[in-house]
Structure 1
Amino acid sequence: MKVFGNGTLTITSVTEKDEGDYLCVARNKMGDDYVLLKVNVMTKAAKIDHKSLSDHKVSYGGELKVDCIASGLPNPEITWSLPDGTMVNSIPQSDNSGLRTKRYVMFDNGTLYLNEVGMREEGDYTCYAENEIGKDEMKVHIKVVVDAPIIRNSAYSVVKVPYGETAVLNCSAKGEPTPTITWTSPAHRAIVPVSDKYQIANDGTLHIHKIQRFDVGNYTCSARNVAGIDKKVVHVQVLVATPLINGIESSGIIRKTVVKDQRVLLDCKANGSPLPRIMWVFPNNIVLPAPYYGSRITVHRNGTLDIHAVRISDSVALLCIARNEGGEAKLQVQLEVIEGVEKPQLRNPPTESIQLTNGILTLNCSIEGKPMPEITWILPNGTSLLRGTTIFRFNHRLDGTLVIRDPSVSEVGRYRCVGRNSAGYVERTVTLESNRKPEITNKYSSLVSIINGENLHLNCLSGGHPLPKLTWTLPNGVVLTRPQTTGRYSVLNNGTLTVQRTSVYDRGMYLCQTTNEHGSSSLSVSVIVIAYPPRITKGPAPVTYSRPGVAVQLNCMPLATPKAEVVWEMPDGLQLKVGVQPRLYGNIYLHPQGSLVIQNPSNRDNGVYKCTAKNVVGSDSRSTYVYVF
Structure 2
Amino acid sequence: MNNGTLRIGQASYTDRGIYKCIGSSAAGADTVSVRLYVSALPPVIQQTLHENTSLPEGGTAYIHCTATGAPQPVIRWITPDGIQLTASQLVTGQNLVVFPNGTLYIRGLGPRNAGRYECSASNTVASSRRTVILSIRRNPSSAKASITSSSPQRTDVIYGSKLLLNCVATGEPEPRIIWRTPSKKLVDIEQKQQRSRQEVVRIKVKVATYPPQVQGKDQRTVRVFYGETVTLGCNTKGEPLPLITWISPTNKVISPALDKYQILDDGTLVVQKAQRFDGGNYTCMARNSAGQDHKVTRLEVLVTPPVINGLRGTTNAIKVTAVQDQLKLVDCMAKGTPTPRIMWVLPGNVILPAPYYSNRMAVHLNGTLEIRSPKTTDSGQLACIARNEGGEVRLVVNLDVKEVVKRPQIRGSKTDSLSLTVGNAMTLNCSLEGSTLPHITWILPSGTPLRSGARFSKFFHRPDGSLIISNPSIAEVGMYRCLGHNSGGLVERTITLSPGRKAEINNIYNSPVSVMNGETLLLHCQASGEPLRLAWTLPSGVVLNRPQRAGRYAILPNGTLAIHQVSVYDRGGYVCRAANEFGSSLLSVSVIVIAYPPRITSGPPSVTYAKLSLCSCYCRKIPATNQVTLLCITLWNSVTSLYKK
Task: Answer whether TM exceeds 0.5 for this pair.
Answer: no
Scaled by the length of structure 1, what TM-score is found? 0.32
Scaled by the length of structure 2, what TM-score is found? 0.31
Larger radius of gyration: 2
